[in-house]
Each structure stands twice: as C-alpha cells, then as structure tokens.
Structure 1
C-alpha cells in the first residue's frame, strides 16, 4: 500500500459532492486533464481516490498532481458511460488506461421465437433474446454452437429462411438440426431440446444428463427402443464432450481468471473464462499505452472496463493485484459484485498458471512482431530515402469486373500492424466503366480533401497499387490539394505478376526501384498492398452480387416494384429470394406458379 500525498484541499469538496451518477475529471497544473472516470455514485467513487493509502502506485502518483476535480452529474449510468467515452476520446488523459479490444467479445444467443434459433452474436443486446457468454474468442463461441447442434439439433438458420422452407435442409440430413421448420419435430419436443441447451450453456450439465436419462428410461418403458437409443447416444456424446473437449473442473462453476504480466516494456492482461466448469480458452489484452504501467494498475483498469460492458461470473480469481482493491472497485461498478479471491484450489491454481504462461507467450509474440515491423519500417525509410520512419501508411486499390461494381479500397498500416478500424471503401460512380484513372482520382480526392482542409488523419506514406498512370493521377490529386509533402509511391506488378518482382514507381519521374524479393521493405509493402487488394475485391464482389440480383429481378416481365418489394420483404433480402424454391415463391401474395417458375428460372 502506498501513501498518497495530496496538494488539493479535497475535504470541503467531498462534503458538497452529489451522490448522483456522473463523470469526474481530475485536473492538474496548467489545466491538464489527468484522468476521466465514470461513477454510479460520484461522492463515493471520488472519495476513494483520497484515502490515506492507495493500492495503486500509478493512481497515487496521479492523485498527488491533482489541483481540482470537475464533475458532471447525469441522469443514469448509461449517460455517464457515453459522456466518459466522449471525453476520453477528445481529451486523451494520460492516466486513462484503455484496452481497445474490450468490446469485441462474442456471445451465443437463443432467440425468443416460437422455434428458438441458436446464433453467434456480437453487438448490443435485444429484448426477448437470451445471451450466453462472453466467450474469449470467436473460435470458442462457434465451437460451442457446433457442439450444441450435435447434442440438441437446434436450428441456426435466419427467420427469412426458416419461415419459407418446404423441405428439410442439409443440416437435417447430416443430423445437425431436427427440422422444426417443416414439422419433423413437434413444438413440445423442440422446446424441451431448447431447455436442455439452455441448461447446458448455464453450466448445469448434471441436470441435462438427468433429464436425458429420464427421457431414455420413459422411452424404454414404453418399448420405444429406437427413441431410447437416440437419448442414450445423446448422453454418451455429452459425457464425451465434457471429458474431452475442454479442461474440466468437474464442477458446474462460472469463473474468470485474470492475470497480468510485464516484460520488455509491454504489459499484458490475460482473461481466461471457465463456464459450467469448462475452460473455454483465454484472451490476451494490451493497453493502448504501457509506459510506466504496472501489472496491478493494468488489472484494475481492465476489471473496471470489462465488467462495465460484460456480465460478471460468480467468481473472479485474481493474480497480480490487490484483491481488496478489485473488490472495492467492483462494488462501485456492479450492483452484485462477484466473489474475488486469489487461486486457492488445485484447479484454480492450474488455470492461473496456464493464464500466466499464455500472457508471457503473448508478450513474446508481440515483441517479436513489433521488432520485425520496426526493422521493416527502417528498411522502407532507407529504401525510399524518407526523412523519418513512416508511422502511418495508407494504400489504395481499385477493383471491378469489366467496369461493373467499381470500388476503391483504402487500408491503413499504423505502428506495428494493420489498423482495420480505419479501413475505408469508396463506391465509385459517375465515371466511364473500367476507367481506373478516374476511379483513383475520385477515391483520393474524397479521402484527402478533408486532410487539406485541416481535418482527418494525415498519412506519412501513400502506396498506390498500380503503375505510372495511376501514380500520375494520384500525384495530380495531391498537387491540387496542396499535399505534395506526403510521400507517395506506386507498386507495379513485375513480370508475369510474380511476387518479389514488383517495381516501385516514383511520381517525380525518377527511375523505378526494384528492391528484390528478400528485401524487408518489400515484404511490408506486399503485406499492405495485398490487404488493400483483398479488401477491395471482397467489397466489389458483394456489391456486384447485390446489383446483379436487383437487375435480374427488374428484367423479369411482370415483376414490377410492388412484387419486388413483396419478394424482398418475404424472404428477408435479395439473397433469400435467390435461395427460395418455386414452392416458396408461390406463397408470396400476387405470385402464381407460372410467375414463380419464371422468377426461379431467371435467378438460376
């Protein structure tokens, strides 16, 4: 515990502070915003910072620099969270530790339909849907869904498909769905299977096995031996899964294991998730800035951010931070905080050690990748004779099929890797089909006109996927916008389009530069260029598919705007119309069998 020396006369301030929810801002000398936080009770939360001894050296250092505390009371915690996020983004306080990936955990959802659907889900929760998770990775969530399909045969199809089936789909044929869409299973039996799947996701495995055992015995007593055999196989499959698929504690318990490790100037927080006694894997997280950050501070910041957004399990196992500090923090964040303890039992100690090992491995991987990226950037700076190492690289590519569905992509490399959150696609219109030069001009103009106006992020280097023509057009755009101080180079494909034979094209007329296939700078350029191409072509294909289907519907005699609207509404989109059978199409109001066959033939 570290004693906190405070220059701010906080006692009169705390006496007058409201107990309403809100946001507080710690202000230092010269009006510097040191920290922004949210509280459901401002008085209680802010008071915690001014205790005599503080468990976090980093926060103790911050508190010693406070000269004033500003607060904003709001009506609810939700409003406080939004205001806090906005202030952190705009003010960038140096004592705020951000884990950028903390919102991206996947869930498993069971919908509230008459025949509930099993689904992989990310995003805001909706009413009437049950959510299970979060899962540490998409793999863990999808693996669990496949498991539930094998065990309980629940449907995973969208409602637009489910409501228009006339025969069982392939999943039924391979024994992954009981086909409630066409009545192969009755509603009561399907509801029982949904209940068992829910119990399984809640970790109540023994209840599931007991229920299946009772149903097997009832079927056997009724001499329904085939049905009894189905339940027997289901029980065996479930027991096999519980023993082999995951590390299993043998208890129906929900636990999060949180550890932190620091090495090589990097701090990693690793979260391992145990649900229903099954270890679902772990996930390493790195804060946005780790300079001077200790493992205890990282864990405290992570706990606060993570459990604001995701439900807490019944127990947290913590290694690397003060348990009392974590417990006090969660009492502020949650209405019903979980049990917080260090690892005591054999299974918990094994989980904690495994999480620490994975945290160390994640740091080693990150340091190795960072070192390789720095070497590549240094090589790129030297090869292109740049005054500084480029920190932000943007690459443009144009994609279309014989002029159809033209799209431009812009991908971003920043720091040590691709920054997918800042990728952009530009739908190109108003040009002659197939005119790549005009498409490049439009894309670059739209991207950099805001930069020229003093808005937006300015790159250090622009890569153009193309030869002299595309580079010339791109340079004209930068010249018109007054941005010629930004370095730019084209990447022309080599002979027979072989990797390693690329030539770099300068906009000022200098001879092209061939680095050779083993050059580290070319490896980096290839990574960014290939990502731009992938991003462009996937967007183009999606746009082309939608455009073609819409065009095909418009070209069918007798299918006017009203019928097109009915078709799209009935099948949930253009993709659903394509998947519909003739019988499905006949059920749409205003479409007889002859018209349905005409539509089906036109789309196939």
Structure 2
C-alpha cells in the first residue's frame, strides 16, 4: 500500500478516469506546484483524457506532459460549443506552456449573412470583422460544423453562397441551380421579394424563432417512413439533427454580466462547492472547495456559511461581482447582500430566481459540483484514509481489502431485486457488482428476499467458488441482520465480519446506527467520521444499484420504453420527443435546453427526463 506522501505527489490516473464523466467539457492538467500545464476541450471527457494515459503510441511531447501531471481538473459544459469557448478563454488567460497558442488561439468560425446586397448570401467566416453590413451567427465548435450547417440551410432555403464577383458575372444559372440548391437570383429566376422571404425564414431559424420549420421536416419524415422510403426518412432525420445543431444556444458566451455562480453537491458526508467566475458574460473558469462539515446542515445553511467565509474570511481580497447566483435560497441573504454591497462600493445582489443564461450558469455549476464530488470521493487517497478509519472503528486486525453490501428493492412486492455492490482499496469495484432476481418469495417479504440472495451468494463460497469478502454490510435493521447471521451460521461462515446499517430514528444522513452481528451492540458514529462516510457511500451505492435493477426489470416485464417510466411523460409527449429527435439515442445525447424545445415539454420536465435517462 503506497504511503500518504506518495499518494499526494503521484497522479492516480486509473482511479481518476474510473469516475470521469463522458459529457463534453474542458480539462486542465496541473503540475505539483499547481501551475496549469495544458488546457483542452473534449466532446467526451473520459475518452479524451484517457488517451493521454495509454501505454503506447504517445508522442514525445505528450509523454513529457504526462510525466509532469500531478492533478487534472475538469469543467463540464452543456455542449462541445461551450467547451470550445471556455477553452479559448482559459488559454488566453492562463497561457499554458504545452498549448500551441497560434493554433488554439484562432478565431471562432461563424455564419455571416450579408445585408447590403439585393440578393444576400450566407457564407462561412472565421472571426467577426467590421467590413460590410450583415449579421453574424455563432460561434460554432468547428469549421466543419459551420459548413455542414450551411449545406443543410442551402438545401432547405436554397440561398446562394457564392462570392459577389462570381454572382455579378453570371449570364446563366450555375450547377447549384441544376441540383436544386439555389433559386438562381443571379439571373433573376426569383424575385427580390420571394428571395427576401427565404432569407427571413433562414434568419428566423438561425435565431431559434421558427419551430414551424422543424414541424414541416418531421411531418415529411413521418410521411416518408409510412411510405416505406426509409432512406429518405433517414435523410430528413439527419437534417433535423443538423438544424437543431445550428440553433444551439450558447451559455458560455452570453449577453454580458459579472457574476460568481455557486454550485453545491453533498454525498457520503462530503460537501463540494464550485464557484464559476463569469466576467463580461463569459465563463472564465471554475474553482472547487471542500468545506469541512462537522454536523449535518441544509444546503441553505451550508451556502450561507460558505459565502461569509469566501468573501470576508482569510487574508485574500476577493473581487466582488455585481451578482452572486445561488441554487437555493440562503439564510441571512439580505444581510450578506448588504455586506457585499458595502465592501464593493456598489450594489451586489445574491439571487436564486433567475432565468435564461443565468439559470444555465447555475445548472452548469451544479453539474460541475456533482462531478467534482464524485471524483473526490473515488480518489485513492480519500478511500485509503476512510479504510484506515473503518479498520480502527470496527477494531479489525487488518485493513479490509474487499467489502460487500446488500439491499432489496421492489414496488409493493412486484419484481423484487437484490443488489450486491463490492468495494476494494480503490473504491467501487463495478465489475463485481451483481443483481439477483428474487423468485418464490411472498410479495413484500424483505426478510425472505435477503435470505435468498445471501444463500445464493455465499453457497458459492462454501463450494470454493468466488472471492471471499473481509466485511459484509446489510442495509437494514436488526431483522435483516438476524437473517444474514442465520444464513452465515447455516453455511458455516464465521470469519467474515457482518455489520447492519440502520437509518436511525430520524432517518437523516449522519444519524445512522451500526449493529454488530457478533455482539448485537448498537452504536452511532460521529457524522464527520471518514469511516461513516465510507459506509454511507457503500450503502448509497447499493441502494442506487438495487433501484436501477428493479426499474429495468419492471419496465422489461411491462414492455415499456425507457420514456414510459418517467413521471409526466405520457403517450403524446413521448410521440413529440420521438418526432423531434428521431429516436431514443438522440434524446440521450441532447441537453436539458434542447429537450425543453420540444412541444409540450417544460424546463422542469426536461430536467426530469434528462436525469431519468442518465440515472442521476
């Protein structure tokens, strides 16, 4: 087992990558001194960051970078476009030594609509300039995304994309007219008024103001599908996806504003607060904090205490923004706002009820807080420290190297499922997780279900199969623990420590009661104990895995689609979702903002759909 000092200096890439999200975002690689070595963006953070730590095929420059990495920080974004913009902001402000600034500092790609021509054109431009009159749409994540979008717009609206010199010297239509991608305004096959209507429709769509266009395409897709013209229907589906990409809103580059955006997440006794700095409407970066909490507190109490120390505690002089955006109402909000205003010499407001871009900033901060917390909990140093505390708490001879926990899940006795999750010295060992379908037990009989799963699990041990755990947790009170003890005695197992985890009288986190099967002793552990945090993590993971398995079994038996199990999503809304996205896989890829654009889907319902599809 590595020493604590070694863990503090060596970057454990395996543990970090195990819990890294697959969502888009920005990653920052830091050295032992905390200096940023490299900033990059990714459509899939896990895949991209993993590529740096493969065993072979790295360039000498990449190998040199990896050898200096001590820590990796990530910021999750809503889309690849937002990741690009945040990456540019960080590169410009941090100027990391391993970034090629001439390449990464290039201008953003845009779509440009000229307005000083009789027949305007839609063209690709890199960087906004002051030459000519017109409108700019973007920025986009790549030049390929712009050209792909222009290609789709040209197909639908048949707007010219040629240069003025080419346009002004035509005496007959070009090939674009022949393949039905242009209305030949160069030879006036279309009137200026009709062409202006096409431009207006294209402009409305680029501004996200014309859902009727999507409705037309969806109807065409359905008609082609009913006529068994599946290739044509697939082409319409691709057009819909491309058009939605063009319409994507930007939350990294908004319309001005200076704010500190606060995100909060807590789990397994650990609290993570993420502060996103927004200046001039641009997200400049994030900072993570892990305040120590000795007793259980509400989110409101936690944020109130954090903000007081963040802005007024310590020797560091903070920059005071015009707004502090928080996810929940906090205690003494008026007092804190007044103190911030006095310190800043101008009005500074603490706000929760916000809309539009500011609401997306809060959602972004909350998402990053959850991701950072998961990474922190799964880190090797954190798990090792908790294992030592657990060994001392239970007075074990050796530090446990394998722990298992069991839980039961059902709906009024229907489709009962038992879960077994496994933890080792590196945290969750998901390859060894198991689900057990419980059969032949009276509906709602949790004791019978527990007896069946433990018997099936540990009979294999008696026969010399499987891996023997050092410690077994049972999620439940004395009744479930007595069942487990009876099973162990009947199988002749006496060398495995058996502990029950009961919720306690108040059923609040931090108030759990532990029951020793050997002595029947019931005891509580302080809420700030690392040992209790590890037990909570194992218990919560077992509970989550059991519920996920139960829902999957229930939906399969009822022959339901994934959408049918989501509250508030009836047949009509399911139909609209499928029409808009073309399939369940595209719905999974979409963000909350994109789901909320579907007819009949509110933002709150979109958040519920997103959470259900991603098991959040």
Shorter-chain TM-score category? 0.3 to 0.5
If the length of structure 1 is used for normalisation, what is the TM-score?
Answer: 0.38
TM-score, normalized by length of structure 2?
0.38
